A and B are shown apart, each in its own frame.
Chain A
Amino acid sequence: MKVSELAEKIGMTPLNAIYDKDIDGVFISDMVSDIVSGAQAGNLLMTIQMHKNLIATANLVDISAIIFVRAKKPLDDVIALADKAGITLFSSDLDTWKLAIKLHELGIE
């Protein structure tokens, strides 16, 4: 599934431009040290972590897109770095559990 398809199917508006990468699996974590050693390239990342170093980490492991759960929204400098890295950011009102169920129903594992 492409990032644009995800946005449409789940009804989320991106916080930045859509960089239409392929989504290959999901990784859920709020710790960059966990993401760097555990996430796979192409993963969709779900998190509440909004520090700028999240983008540095996501870029290093080639995350396809990030969803901030529980309506979290990062600062402008974080969004700007995500734009430079070509990583689409979303903010969802749902919590991690409910969003994970929704993604599962969409066939994203």
Chain B
Amino acid sequence: MTETESQHEWRIINIRNGYLVTERCVETGARQSFFSLEDTPPIDNYTDGEFTWKYLGSAQAVKFDLECAKHKKIVKLDNVVGLMLCTECDPTCNAAQLANIVGENKTWVYVALSEDPSGMSKAVTQEETRALTEYFNSRIKTPGKKILFVPDSFIKNFDTCKGEIIADMGMTEIY
């Protein structure tokens, strides 16, 4: 039996606590997010090529990798900056359509978020979504329940998306 045919025994490794920082380009309207390990989230505006990035907000978040204890294989989740539950807010969105179909089988669709939701660079890989799916499913005790991770290319419009991002929103802000 090959490694891909046998079942992995994933566990979380390399837990890093930091900030999920979101920026918007004031010129193009593009949006990007990145994970920062700095003591405080970077808030400076800066220019990078044709983009002028402006800080939108940040949230405390966690990043980790997955290791298969059986095969000693490590999947580094370098392209994943956050996790999000699809709430099926837009019936024309691919993630919502998938969630609607698989939801009948007690399967929940979660989205692995990349730095660049347009998928132009650093897109979440199939290996990353597969490892996330296998890891979280291996922990479930509720009978029949399943988790399915998809890349953020499934999301039709991030500006209107109402998915629930797993990050500690507002915990670094003072109101």
Q: Which residues of A contact B (CB under 8 A)?
A: 21-22, 24, 31-34, 36-37, 40-42, 51-53, 55-57, 59-62, 64, 81, 85-86
Whether A86 lies near B142 (C-beta < 8 A) is yes
Q: How far is the CA of A33 from the CA of B17 in the complex (A)?
A: 8
Q: Out of B17, B110, B167, B169, which one reaches A60, CB within 8 Å? A: B110
Whether, in the assembled complex, B55 has its beta carbon less than 8 Å from a beta carbon of chain A, the answer is no
Q: Which residues of B contact A (CB under 8 A)?
A: 12, 15, 17, 60-62, 64, 83-85, 87, 108, 110, 136, 139-142, 145, 147, 164-169, 171
Whether A53 lies near B166 (C-beta < 8 A) is yes
Residues on the B chain within 8 Å of A51, using CB: 169
Cβ distance A63 to chain B, nearest Cβ, rounded Å: 10
Whether B60 lies near A60 (C-beta < 8 A) is no
Whether B164 lies near A34 (C-beta < 8 A) is no
Residues on the B chain within 8 Å of A24, using CB: 141
Q: Out of B64, B141, B145, B171, which one reaches A37, CB within 8 Å? A: B64
Interface centre among A42, A60, A85 (most CB of B within 10 A): A60
Whether B136 lies near A60 (C-beta < 8 A) is yes
Whether A37 lies near B166 (C-beta < 8 A) is no
Whether A33 lies near B167 (C-beta < 8 A) is yes
Q: How far is the CA of A21 from the CA of B168 in the complex (A)?
A: 27
Q: Known interface pairs A31-B168, A32-B167, A36-B166. Does A53 touch B139 (Cβ–Cβ under 8 Å)? A: no
Extra contacts besides A52-B164, A55-B164 (17): CB < 8 Å? A22-B141, A31-B168, A33-B166, A34-B62, A40-B139, A41-B139, A41-B140, A41-B141, A51-B169, A53-B165, A53-B169, A56-B85, A59-B108, A60-B108, A62-B139, A62-B141, A62-B145
Residue of A nearest to B16 (CB): A37
Residues on the B chain within 8 Å of A41, using CB: 139-142
Residues on the A chain within 8 Å of B12, using CB: 37
Q: Out of B62, B87, B136, B142, which one reaches A33, CB within 8 Å? A: B62
Q: How far is the CA of A24 from the CA of B142 in the complex (A)?
A: 12
Q: How far is the CA of A24 from the CA of B84 in the complex (A)?
A: 25
Residue of B nearest to A49 (CB): B168
Q: How far is the CA of A64 from the CA of B168 in the complex (A)?
A: 21
Q: Out of A21, A22, A36, A52, which one reaches B83, CB within 8 Å? A: A36
